Chain A
Amino acid sequence: MANPTDPLASRVHEVCAKRGHRPTELLQVLIELQDQEGWIAPQAIDALQMQLALPRSKIVAVASFYAFLNLTPRGRYQVSFSDNITDRHAGSLELCEQLCRELWVERGKVSEDGLVSVDLTSCIGLCDQGPAALINGRPLTRLDAARVSTIAGFIREGRALADWPTELFVVEDGVRRRERLLQPAFAPGEALAAAITRGAEGTLRELEASRLRGRGGAGFATAAKWSAARLAPGEARYVVANGDEGEPGTFKDRLLLARHPQELFEGMSIAAWVLGARQGLLYLRGEYRHLQAALEAVLHARRESGLLGRNILGVAGFDFDIAVHLGAGAYICGEESALLESLEGKRGTPRLRPPFPVTRGYLGQPTVVNNIETFCAAAHIVFAGAPNWTALGTAQSTGTKLLSVSGDCARPGIYEYPFGVSVADVLADCGAPEAQAVQVGGPSGHTVPRGQFARRMSFEDLSTAGAFLVFDQSRDLFEVARNFVHFFAHESCGFCTPCRVGTALLTNLMDKLAHGHGSPQDFARIESLNHELKTLSHCGLGQSACNPVLDGIAHFRPAYDRRLAHQAFVPAFDLDRALATARAMTGRDDPASHLERQG
């Protein structure tokens, strides 16, 4: 039990008691503790061991996995600049440097007075209103030099975030085009009532007729997934919404979670009705926790109106509720089996498959994991009927798709299109006549060059979870790919050899080329690494980590050839660059502190 004389131990006890001292709540407990304490101190881990009956090695394993959990003290103000390529193109790195300069803090370090830490973080889903950053979990949008100076001033004077002007935190919806999903269609409970009227079998038949496929990018048939989980033997069944929208450049779930939570919860409840599930879980990425309070309020309202809880809509025995679980900065948790591990309070390591989640998912029980958009679409289909849905889209890709458009275009934001829309049509709508290339589906998707702008968004051609990053003629596609490769190396979970080591090797080789030391041998190695990552990796992260490079080589070869300055092999080690640390330590950058360059 908690030592009553130790205040930290009793605070840890309180947090754990709220969650029933269940070891599966470890991640949620760690997040809440950090909110309270600022970091996860060794003494807090001592107390956690007792409270959750977990060995220290497991607690440290989990705490050290998630980027947003700190095992060392951080500043009272923690600023994390979104490091997506679109943020960079909009000047995020310069703004980050400016903030560091104005606050006298080194990037990645804590200021000596413990006031502030400034760092970069993977895409936070605000690409349409970047450069963006998070400060203690709250979003800062449309940053520019003036805003950064204002922010630096507030931090210096220690002003509470609650007293900062609200315009700094405004997140716009940014909806540019609406079809089925973004139109008001039904009042809360109406789609669920329609499902109950249709019955579980009838609901499944309707979904099957709609040919709805998962919106996370892989496109598995939703009806098949639900019916597999329904038929699988188990003691309990679970419905999980994947709100870990981590693919850089994707932010359409941000809108659905903020403006269409009723449709999401309606879709999850319909799934629960079909499966006979009593518990639903919404996995909300840590970057979106600013949406949590509003989501909890909607859940509360649904409980009040009998749409969650016991005997839902008066149907005896239809008991279902939904809990929100937070992520803590790990892209890999968007992979469904890693997400399940994370929900169970573990490291987000993708599981071996088979078994698949539909037979053994959350806590080993049959589980449906779907994208936020899939649940919303399912609710629409069950309410309005399959024909209404199949009237839009293509043969294998029915209905509509939300696209998150950002980068070099006049009108970034969220666009809902019937499936089958061409890249060119989207570019015309968002105002990007000079586009050189579009990254469809984010770093793990496809780089589409100008010559292929007639290609269409669909499972038949360009499948996508929704990212649509536009690059104009001024952008260097090699640097874009290099940013993406760094992202994958940073987000690799480290479980399997090819991804853990391969993404780091690929990063080093791309850096070597960027630094002007590349030779044809390095290029050959990049090509063989691409092959190894693709064929040997345990999950989609490693398998797609090389996609931007493969596409870059195929379509933008000159950007790579330009970097192969040497015909002979050149070592990656650069003595002058290795002296950079010594120069920084001594505050020198004069010519005498550099090695003479050869001729």
Chain B
Amino acid sequence: MNAPVFTLDRVEISFAPGQSILQAARAAGRYIPHLCFHPELKAHGSCRVCMVRVAGRLLPACATPAQPGMVVESEVPEVQQMRRALVEMLFVEGNHFCPSCEKSGDCQLQATAYHLGMLAPQFDYFYPDRAVDASHPEFLLDFNRCILCSLCVRASRDVDGKNVFGLSGRGLRTRLTVNAASGRLGDTDFAVGDFAARVCPVGAILKKRQGFQVPLGERTYDRHSIAEIDQHAPAQSLGECAPGPEVPMGGAPISRAPRREDT
């Protein structure tokens, strides 16, 4: 029996019933930009970067079930422009200074911005006043770089069974918070082996004492575009952390495949 298919930018993609457009696309080796999606976690649909156009409407590929015969547009100028606007919004909302960030080169926000051809954000920066929490012996929590994707919230809750993180507040005052009366990460049971320690797509949760172990210019997204990386590995920048035993790793090792023409 033939698997059902839909088309993604005119290429036929077969899928298993129940798969989202994003899951099916990834399984077929096709990249759709995303930030709040992780293959090991339930779709969230909040960053909206994976928006694709279906029958004239923009829908989040991570949360839209694939349907037979669907015509999905992704790498088209209008959709890419919308994604770029979203990434720009995330840049101006927080305090993202790539040159001084340890995550530079391993950061999905930065790599996605490069992929989408973002130059400078067209919006005014908010320059929010946010703290840094260095209370944990192994991790630095820098709220300035948090994009509220909630990957750490979901990973800690659904995989680690710990609820170390939560989102509090509302609207522009939404903030990542930590499950301790003091509000400090050092007063939680957050640990190196946690899945939540490895899912941050940006430099908000950083392993301490790892600075510049890999030189700038030789990091994950310095060597391959995010489109190539995403085809071959679960969608997170692992940095130098090895995956914990409780998390199955999918995907083949990264090969030095020739760069795909993205646009």
Do A and B interact?
A: yes
Nearest-neighbor residue (CB-CB) of B83 within chain A: A536
Question: What is the bound-complex CA distance between A296 and B58, given in angstroms?
Answer: 44
* A46-B181 in contact given A532-B82, A536-B86, A538-B46 (Cβ < 8 Å): yes
With A352-B63, A500-B148, A536-B51 as contacts: A55 and B174 at CB distance below 8 Å: no
Assess whether B163 is in contact with A501, with CB atoms less than 8 Å apart. no
A interface size (C-beta, 8 A): 41
Contacts of B89 in A (CB 8 A): 497-498, 501-502, 505
Name the contact of B177 in the complex, choosing from A42, A57, A67, A354 (C-beta under 8 A): A57
| Given contacts A42-B181, A496-B46, A64 and B170 within 8 Å (CB-CB) | yes
Does chain B have a CB within 8 A of A525?
yes
Task: Decide if A203 is an interface residue (CB 8 Å cutoff).
Answer: no
**B173 A498 Cβ-Cβ under 8 A:** no
* A532 & B85 in contact (Cβ 8 Å cutoff): yes
Q: Is A398 an interface residue (CB 8 A)?
A: no
Contact digits for B157-201, partner A, Cβ 8 Å, 1 yes 0 no:
000000111111111111001111100000000000000000000
| B239 at interface by CB-CB < 8 Å | no
Q: Which of A46, A61, A497, A505 contacts B123 (CB 8 A)?
A: A505
> Is A493 a contact of B171 with CB atoms below 8 Å?
yes
Question: Given A58-B166, A352-B63, A492-B172 in contact, is the A536-B82 Cβ separation under 8 Å?
Answer: yes
Contact with B along A568-582 (1 / 0, CB 8 A): 000010000000000
Which of B86, B93, B170 is within 8 Å of A330, CB to CB?
B170
Residue B129 lies at the interface, judged by CB distance under 8 Å to chain A: no
In whole angstroms, what is the CA distance A522 to B58 when docked? Answer: 25
Query: B165–A57 contact, CB under 8 A?
Result: yes
The interface residues of chain A lying within 8 Å CB-to-CB of B63 are 352
- Let me know if A535 and B171 touch, CB within 8 A: no
B85 shortest CB reach to chain A, Å: 5
Q: B238 interface residue, CB < 8 Å from A? A: no
Q: Confirm or deny: B203 has a beta carbon within 8 angstroms of a beta carbon on chain A.
A: no
Residues from chain A with a CB closer than 8 A to the CB of B90 are: 497, 501
| Contact residue among A42, A330, A496 (Cβ-Cβ distance under 8 Å from B45) | A496
Specify the chain A residue showing the minimal Cβ separation from B183. Answer: A60
Task: Determine the distance from Cα of A65 to Cα of B173 in the docked complex, in whole angstroms.
Answer: 10
Which of chain B's residues have a CB closer than 8 A to the CB of A233?
A: none
Residues of B within 8 Å of A525, CB to CB, are: 122-123
Interface centre among B60, B92, B166 (most CB of A within 10 A): B166
Interface residues on B, range: 35 or more
Q: Decide yes or no whether A528 CB sits under 8 A from chain B.
A: yes
For the complex, is B126 an interface residue (Cβ under 8 Å from A)? yes
- In the assembled complex, the CB of B172 is this many whole angstroms from the nearest CB of chain A, namely 5
- Whether the pair A352, B181 counts as a contact (CB closer than 8 A) is no
- Is A164 an interface residue when CB atoms closer than 8 A count as contact? no
> How far apart are the CA atoms of A494 and B89 in the complex, in Å?
13
Which B residues touch A60, using CB under 8 A?
166, 168, 177
Q: Indicate whether B47 reaches chain A with its CB closer than 8 angstroms.
A: yes
Which residues of A (94-153) have their CB < 8 Å from a CB of B? none
- Contact A492 to B170, CB < 8 A, known contacts A55-B163, A56-B180, A498-B86: yes
When chains A and B are docked, how far (Å) is the Cα of A503 from the Cα of B163? 30
Chain A min CB distance to B136 (Å): 15
A85 interface residue per 8 A CB criterion: no
Q: Which of A8-59 touch B at CB < 8 Å?
A: 42, 45-46, 55-58
- Residues from chain B with a CB closer than 8 A to the CB of A492 are 170-172
Take A65-B168, A504-B126 as given contacts and tell me if A352 and B174 are in contact as well, using a CB distance cutoff of 8 Å. Answer: no
Whole-angstrom distance from the CB of B39 to the nearest CB of chain A?
17
What per-residue 1/0 map shows which CB atoms of B110-153 lie under 8 Å from chain A? Answer: 00000000000011101000000000000000000001100000
CA distance A64 to B93 in the complex (A): 20
Task: Check B43–A57 contact: CB distance below 8 A.
Answer: no
CA of A495 to CA of B173 in the docked complex: distance in angstroms?
11
A352 and B43 contacting across the interface, CB-CB below 8 Å: yes
In the complex, how many angstroms separate the beta carbon of A154 from the nearest chain B beta carbon? 32
Quick one: closest A residue to B176, CB to CB?
A57
CA gap between A528 and B122 in the complex, in Å: 11
B174 cross-chain contacts in A, Cβ below 8 A: 494, 500
Residue of A nearest to B35 (CB): A497
Query: Quick check: A58 and B167 within 8 Å, CB to CB?
Result: no
In contact, B82 and A535 (Cβ under 8 angstroms): yes
B224 at the interface (CB under 8 A from A): no
Bound CA span A497–B148, Å: 9
CB distance from B57 to the nearest CB of A (A): 8
User: Which residues from chain B contact A536 at a C-beta distance below 8 Å?
Assistant: 48, 51, 58, 82, 85-86
Which residue of the partner chain, among A46, A57, A347, A496, contacts B163 with CB atoms under 8 Å? Answer: A57
A219 to chain B, nearest CB (A): 19
Closest to A528 in B: B85
B40-70 at interface with A (beta carbon < 8 Å): 43-49, 51, 57-58, 60, 63, 65
Closest to B175 in A: A64
Q: Taking the complex as formed, is A508 at the interface, i.e. its CB lies under 8 A from any CB of chain B?
A: yes
B90 to chain A, nearest CB (A): 6
- On whether the beta carbons of B48 and A501 are closer than 8 Å, the reply is no
User: Which chain B positions have C-beta within 8 A of A65?
Assistant: 168-170
Contact B166 A497 (CB under 8 A): no
- A205 interface residue, CB < 8 Å from B? no
- In angstroms, Cα B170 to Cα A67, docked, is 9
Bound Cα distance from A65 to B174, whole angstroms: 9
- CB-based contact B178/A494 at 8 Å: no
B170 contacts which chain A residues (CB < 8 A)?
64-65, 67, 330, 347, 492-494
Which residues in B have their C-beta under 8 angstroms from that of A489? 171-172
Task: State whether the Cβ of A491 lies closer than 8 Å to any Cβ in chain B.
Answer: yes
Does A456 sit within 8 A of B, measured CB to CB? no
Q: How far is the CB of A308 from chain B (nearest CB, A)?
A: 35
Bound together, the chains give a CA A410 to CA B141 distance in angstroms of 58
Report yes or no: A495 in contact with B46, Cβ–Cβ below 8 A.
yes
Whether A490 sits at the interface, judged by CB under 8 Å, is yes
Question: Within 8 Å CB of A494, what residues of B?
Answer: 148, 167, 169-174
Q: Would you list the 3 A-B pairs with minimal beta carbon distance, nearest first?
A: A57-B166, A494-B174, A501-B89
Q: Which residues of B approach A to under 8 Å, CB–CB? A: 43-49, 51, 57-58, 60, 63, 65, 82, 85-86, 89-90, 92-93, 122-124, 126, 147-148, 163-174, 177-181
24 contacts between A and B (CB under 8 A): A42-B181, A55-B166, A56-B180, A64-B168, A347-B170, A352-B44, A489-B171, A489-B172, A492-B170, A492-B172, A493-B171, A494-B148, A497-B86, A497-B89, A497-B147, A498-B89, A503-B172, A504-B126, A504-B172, A508-B124, A525-B123, A532-B82, A536-B58, A536-B85
Known A496-B45, A535-B82; 6 more pairs at CB < 8 Å: A347-B167, A494-B170, A500-B174, A505-B123, A535-B57, A536-B48
